[in-house]
Amino acid sequence: MAKIRIGIMGAGFIAGVHASVLAGDERVQLAAVYDVVPACAERLAGAYNATAVATTLELLERSDAVFITTPNTQHVSLSIASIGTGKHVFCEKPLATNVADAERVFKKASEARSVFQVGHNRRFAPVYATLKRMLSGTHAPHSAHVKMNRGELLKPEWTGDPEVTGGFLYETPIHMFDMMRFLFGEVESLHAAGSTHEYKEMDDFSVLLRFANGMHATLATAADASWLFPFERIEVFSHHATLVTREMESLTYNTGLEGNFTQQTMQQLPREEKWGYVQEDRAFIDAIVNGSEPLVTALDGLMSVRLVDAVYESVRSKAPVSVSSQL
Amino acid sequence: MAKIRIGIMGAGFIAGVHASVLAGDERVQLAAVYDVVPACAERLAGAYNATAVATTLELLERSDAVFITTPNTQHVSLSIASIGTGKHVFCEKPLATNVADAERVFKKASEARSVFQVGHNRRFAPVYATLKRMLSGTHAPHSAHVKMNRGELLKPEWTGDPEVTGGFLYETPIHMFDMMRFLFGEVESLHAAGSTHEYKEMDDFSVLLRFANGMHATLATAADASWLFPFERIEVFSHHATLVTREMESLTYNTGLEGNFTQQTMQQLPREEKWGYVQEDRAFIDAIVNGSEPLVTALDGLMSVRLVDAVYESVRSKAPVSVSSQL
Amino acid sequence: MAKIRIGIMGAGFIAGVHASVLAGDERVQLAAVYDVVPACAERLAGAYNATAVATTLELLERSDAVFITTPNTQHVSLSIASIGTGKHVFCEKPLATNVADAERVFKKASEARSVFQVGHNRRFAPVYATLKRMLSGTHAPHSAHVKMNRGELLKPEWTGDPEVTGGFLYETPIHMFDMMRFLFGEVESLHAAGSTHEYKEMDDFSVLLRFANGMHATLATAADASWLFPFERIEVFSHHATLVTREMESLTYNTGLEGNFTQQTMQQLPREEKWGYVQEDRAFIDAIVNGSEPLVTALDGLMSVRLVDAVYESVRSKAPVSVSSQL
Amino acid sequence: MAKIRIGIMGAGFIAGVHASVLAGDERVQLAAVYDVVPACAERLAGAYNATAVATTLELLERSDAVFITTPNTQHVSLSIASIGTGKHVFCEKPLATNVADAERVFKKASEARSVFQVGHNRRFAPVYATLKRMLSGTHAPHSAHVKMNRGELLKPEWTGDPEVTGGFLYETPIHMFDMMRFLFGEVESLHAAGSTHEYKEMDDFSVLLRFANGMHATLATAADASWLFPFERIEVFSHHATLVTREMESLTYNTGLEGNFTQQTMQQLPREEKWGYVQEDRAFIDAIVNGSEPLVTALDGLMSVRLVDAVYESVRSKAPVSVSSQL
């Protein structure tokens, strides 16, 4: 069987991660790389015997499936163009940086026959996959606190530029909005406060979330908190138990009425596996090969964008905001 | 100079803590102990060469100052009666278990010339006193996340009886409402979600708080979370820094853009000092001796009650609630 | 039945711990307290309605059982005198501060019909009792590393005076020598290096120990290491498992080939129970009441002294030293 | 200037690490790869546009410098052959798996004009480089405890085969013998106990070490301890201070008499830098380019082998063993 030809649009850090993972999948062949800076495309292509191409059009011609790993604000147009040529698309998160765009991509992806997967890698990270299993089993969640901080918006420099990222919440905390849906279900409404301190955009947020099933949670996220471990932590309060993740390094939980606990540690896993990159890329190729539904859909991408947008709106309006799950 | 005669109303666990602390203060003499169960009064009185008395009236006669360490729902009537006889009063938290009562005590205490202090001990705990100093210095807070969990409402049994506690939030999390005012200033409004799982009252809460000065914070508190350390934790996000307390055991903070950190540990302090009991009792006696304002006033007690009440109201109304700081 | 009258010789910190524990045992009555400083005796006696006495002779007359809680170098003469009058004796660790003395007390105690127990409290601490059970079960120890540090020999001041302590190893690390026998069996030989840095005695030691059963272990102990947690830690390496205690706060262990682990935490226990004081005092009274063998015997006290003595000898001789278990 | 042509002998895991690091150094070119399994050589060569060669002779012809990354027991013959052809040699640890061989390589390397560096990467790891600086400054070491465990000798399988590794101590703990020399100076004598449990060789060791400068230390190392974090830890006891490394993840130290501490964390560094691989390869190329002495010499390699050999001898003889630093 012919190998699936992969094209990569955008040759930055995360492109390199996907390339190295895909290099380990015998069903695919890294065919082409495009970047607005040709030298970047050449460097990545060179490392994997792929062809650096000069235009996204040329890339689409040489590919059966594309990875969109450009800056966030370019995801929409490239996704729509790629779907339009019938290619399978893996689009890095966020799906878009506003709701209208996200809905356009969702609609386009829904009508297409090709696979469309969004890069919410954490669903595949062992620490979160295990937490999900536990919450679906004997540890039904009562409430939760979620934290996702960044140390700064300086390294790399573009992380502090909303023209590139779409805004801090679209770049980093969007992972947690997807995680909350994954773990706790659909959000019904949220209420947020935000403030601006170090950067030219809001960099500290406090959020209250109500879920359709009665769950409730708080989220704290700061872009200027320094890298005090853990910067990413989900604490779920359940039936006489607390379950805590720290980064994607460990899952700790206790049961019963005492403070004893068990910790599952992922620290020995290679980073690409610990963060779920290996598993999400394999899932994408599986979906192509099997003609099956991808595990993170355009709908998931859309809903995360709606949640982020609702936070920004709630901060502006100083009022609670309903979150629609209508399509 | 004559020693200040102390009377203790309510001879349970926290009464024993205060008694043992006061036994180390040469300015006072433990004079009388009252408890609804005479044997309890006798046991505590016996250990400190005090007199077990049969009525609160007799206790007031034998005392210059009283410690009210009864169940929460009796604080109000005993406070008002004690102030009425001109005694200095140390009232354990909460000041009251509803706003109207709290306002009555506040008014009575405001009109009196005697000292009235509320038992928000954490203001005196070294971990929080140090955090306060840091936030007032170079680490102005941007936002915060606060957690205060209990493992269960079973041990002791009365902790699960709202008739005794006034409700879970009045018993344990009220400490954090006082802490937030102490550390971050007055709350302008809050929005809360709550739910009921293991007990006959709401036992899981998620809260969003806006402060008058623009700060914002989230609070998570669960009464059925098991005792996974730390059950009490304040995380403050500041200028490229995070500061975290864990119980009253340690304060960890970093500065700069890396993940390096410094931890101040209080673990070697005796528990009565680590939790601020020694310092708060000394401050109360200082205020009596010096005729000065106590460090935790009836106003502080009132405001904490207003915050707790606002949370319950917000859960009921499913809407944000303004918090008045009017007197 | 008449209560057992307890006399306490030496009214310092640890005497206060035992007094408060004994006050909770209905089978005993705190009868008399002696201290070389009468005011100390009076303070402790006063707190427990006991009589402060002027001589140890008077104390023995008023007691059925005595607690010897004086400075280490006085344990021997007081033990022998107390046994001589037929009293039950609880002697704090160390039994003696040299082997000849320890053997004299051992002989005297062996010939007596009264109970003689040595204050190696850690055998009763839940963390070590649990570890012992695990090592006796499926986790047979292969080798171990033991650490017991002090931060300094300044607080209290006498801890730095070998005239009072008999030497650093007799004061603090002797606990670990008893622990190693308790957990791993008899030591056959040991080899030690020592050095002097901050104090007028050797304050840093490294020790290799071989056990009769083939186990081997290393011990590191420093008197000038500062109080970096944990200062007391036993790590046991077993069948594809590591078991670690940290202070008497927690026991952590894993099994299998991964890094996952379970932690039992004792942090919520009251300190007197966490450190085994409650249990060891109860065991002493049980032995008196039941006429049974105490759980920590004069032989245990003697063997710990032999081990400490062997370390000092090995440092002097720069050679391995055999440790006799002959009586 | 012509690029330095690099040949890699042995295309396993660690070869891949060096290849990826060298790919980032513009002064070199990965020229040739040899492996006893041609497919392995081809895979590695293919990833870096190098040539897979059929013999080590061919590899030497195509290279200016070679990396010896074969199984331990082949290091000696390949080192000697490579030095013999005038090539610069980077030999992975251990230099050899017995003293006689190590001395032969040392002699050969000493007589050559080319660079010879041994792969004791930890000297370059930031955590250890920082510790070294602190110990050389105000934190002169008094004594130390060193631990280096493995979870098992099963993954990969060859780690349990002494024919391949030369024995467990030659494979993993040899890192710590080099570290102790690096941090504390030359070892004068040591005394070790060892035992055999899970594998066909000794898998648990306890060691006492005396250094020429009066320092002393203990070392615990087990091959069957499971992967309980941290498996690699150096604790140094200094002037009222303790300094602790955990893996190559963090360095924690306190000063003064309290338990407060500072932690430097390396967790955000890429693994190749955190473990010192990037720095050691750069240092090797620097030495070639500058004609300077490498930072880890054949002498360092020899001394580590002598220390490991002394441990095995001490276990056999059940006696202390002197360690010569004579050449």
Q: Counting one residue from C and one from D, how many pairs have CB atoms under 8 Å apart?
A: 187
Is C148 in CB contact (< 8 Å) with chain D?
no
Tell me the shortest Cα–Cα distance from A26 to chain B, in angstroms. Answer: 39
Across the interface, whether the CB atoms of C228 and D154 are under 8 A apart is answered no
**pLDDT per residue as tens digits for the range B238-259:** 999 999 999 999 999 997 788 8
Which residues partner with B253 through β-bridges?
B243, B262
Q: How far is CA D226 from the centre of its chain?
A: 22
Q: Which of A47, A229, A265 sits opposite D229 (nearest CB)?
A: A265
Alpha-carbon gap, residue D244 to D228, rounded angstroms: 16
Q: Which of D260, D262, D265 sits opposite B259 (nearest CB)?
A: D265
Question: Over the Cα atoms of chain A, what is R_g?
Answer: 20
Residue D170 has pLDDT above 90, yes or no: yes
- The residues of chain B scoring below 70 in pLDDT are 1
Alpha-carbon gap, residue D275 to C183, rounded angstroms: 36
Q: Which of A259, A262, A264 sits opposite C267 (nearest CB)?
A: A259
Q: Which residue of A has its CA nearest to C267?
A: A259
List the subunits that have 3+ CB pairs under 8 angstroms with B.
A, C, D
Tell me the shortest Cα–Cα distance from C147 to chain D, in angstroms. Answer: 9
Residue C181 has pLDDT above 90, yes or no: yes
Alpha-carbon gap, residue A38 to A65, rounded angstroms: 21
Q: Nearest 10 degrees: CA dihedral of A273, A277, A279, A282?
A: -130
Alpha-carbon gap, residue D135 to D235, rounded angstroms: 12
Is D226 in CB contact (< 8 Å) with chain A?
no
| Cis bond before residue C94 (omega within 30° of 0) | yes
- The token pair at A287 is 């979906």
Alpha-carbon gap, residue D207 to D320, rounded angstroms: 10
Parallel, antiparallel, or unpaired: how do β-strands D261-265 and B261-265 relate? antiparallel
Q: 């450009």: which residue's tokens?
A: A70
| Chain D residues with beta carbon closer than 8 angstroms to that of A227 | 268
- Do C21 and C71 meet the contact criterion of CB atoms below 8 Å apart? no
Instruction: Please give the single-letter amino acid code of residue B231.
Output: F
| Chain D residues with beta carbon closer than 8 angstroms to that of B274 | none
Please, what is the Cα angle at C273 between C133 and C71, to 5 degrees? 105
The mean pLDDT value of chain A amounts to: 96
- The token pair at D215 is 């320092």
Residue D1 has pLDDT above 80, yes or no: no
Cα distances from A18 to residues A3, A68, A281, C83, D287, in angstroms, run: 17, 10, 7, 78, 35
- Do A27 and A87 meet the contact criterion of CB atoms below 8 Å apart? no
State in Å, rounded, how far the first CA of chain C is from the last one. 38
- Do D218 and C207 meet the contact criterion of CB atoms below 8 Å apart? yes
pLDDT bucket at D95, cuts 50 / 70 / 90: very high
**pLDDT per residue as tens digits for the range B170-213:** 999 999 999 999 999 999 999 999 999 999 999 999 999 999 99
What is the mean pLDDT of the segment spanning A31-50? 95
Instruction: Please give the single-letter amino acid code of residue B91.
Output: C
Cβ-Cβ contacts under 8 Å for C161 (sequence gap 6 or more)? none
Alpha-carbon gap, residue A83 to C144, rounded angstroms: 62
Alpha-carbon gap, residue B225 to B208, rounded angstroms: 20
Classified as helix, coil or strand, C91 is strand
Q: Which of C192, C195, C241 sits opposite D214 (nearest CB)?
A: C195
Alpha-carbon gap, residue B79 to B87, rounded angstroms: 10
Question: In a 10 Å sphere around its CB, with 0-12 CB exposed, 13-18 middle and 19+ buried, how is residue A270 labelled?
Answer: exposed
What is the mean pLDDT of the segment spanning A231-237? 98
**Which candidate, A166, A189, A165, A175, places its Cα nearest to that of A98?**
A166
- Note the pLDDT of residue A327: 80
Exposure on the CB side of residue A80, measured as CA atoms within 13 A: 13
The mean pLDDT value of chain D amounts to: 96
Cβ-Cβ contacts under 8 Å for A133 (sequence gap 6 or more)? none
- Note the pLDDT of residue C256: 78
- Do B240 and B230 meet the contact criterion of CB atoms below 8 Å apart? no
- Do D235 and D227 meet the contact criterion of CB atoms below 8 Å apart? no
| Chain A residues with beta carbon closer than 8 angstroms to that of C258 | 265, 268
**pLDDT per residue as tens digits for the range C189-212:** 999 999 999 999 999 999 999 999
Alpha-carbon gap, residue D296 to D283, rounded angstroms: 9
Across the interface, whether the CB atoms of B229 and A198 are under 8 A apart is answered no
Q: Which residue of B has its CA nearest to C271?
A: B271
pLDDT bucket at D325, cuts 50 / 70 / 90: confident
Q: How far is CA A263 from the centre of its chain?
A: 25
List the subunits that have 3+ CB pairs under 8 angstroms with A.
B, C, D
**Which candidate, D243, D228, D171, places its Cα nearest to that of C236?**
D228
The mean pLDDT value of chain C amounts to: 96
Across the interface, whether the CB atoms of C207 and D208 are under 8 A apart is answered yes
Element holding D10 (H helix, E strand): none
Residue B86 backbone class (left: φ over 0; alpha: ψ -120 to 50; beta: rest): left
- Do B79 and B68 meet the contact criterion of CB atoms below 8 Å apart? yes
Mutate to test the interface with B, among D127, D246, D261 (most CBs of B within 10 A): D261
Cβ-Cβ contacts under 8 Å for C212 (sequence gap 6 or more)? C185, C186, C187, C188, C325
pLDDT bucket at D258, cuts 50 / 70 / 90: confident
Mutate to test the interface with A, among B138, B201, B206, B238 (most CBs of A within 10 A): B206
Element holding C43 (H helix, E strand): helix C38-47
Tell me the shortest Cα–Cα distance from D271 to chain B, in angstroms. Answer: 16
pLDDT bucket at A255, cuts 50 / 70 / 90: confident
> How many other CB atoms are found less than 10 A from the CB of residue C13?
9
Cα distances from D254 to residues B169, C128, C227, D235, D237, in angstroms, run: 39, 27, 8, 12, 10
| Chain D residues with beta carbon closer than 8 angstroms to that of A268 | 227
- Do C53 and C34 meet the contact criterion of CB atoms below 8 Å apart? yes
Please tell me the pTM assigned to this model.
0.96
> Chain D 237-276, CB below 8 Å of chain C: which residues?
237, 239-242, 244, 252-259, 261
| Cis bond before residue A294 (omega within 30° of 0) | no
**pLDDT per residue as tens digits for the range C156-166:** 999 999 999 99
What is the mean pLDDT of the segment spanning D100-111? 98
Tabulate helix, strand, coil % of chain C (nearest 5).
40, 25, 35
Exposure on the CB side of residue B40, measured as CA atoms within 13 A: 15
Alpha-carbon gap, residue D213 to C241, rounded angstroms: 36
Q: Which of A259, A267, A268 sits opposite C268 (nearest CB)?
A: A259
Tell me the shortest Cα–Cα distance from C100 to chain A, in angstroms. Answer: 45
Residue D49 backbone class (left: φ over 0; alpha: ψ -120 to 50; beta: rest): left
- Note the pLDDT of residue A131: 98
- Do C307 and C190 meet the contact criterion of CB atoms below 8 Å apart? yes
Q: Which residue of A has its CA nearest to C250?
A: A260
- Do D266 and D129 meet the contact criterion of CB atoms below 8 Å apart? no
Across the interface, whether the CB atoms of A229 and D271 are under 8 A apart is answered no
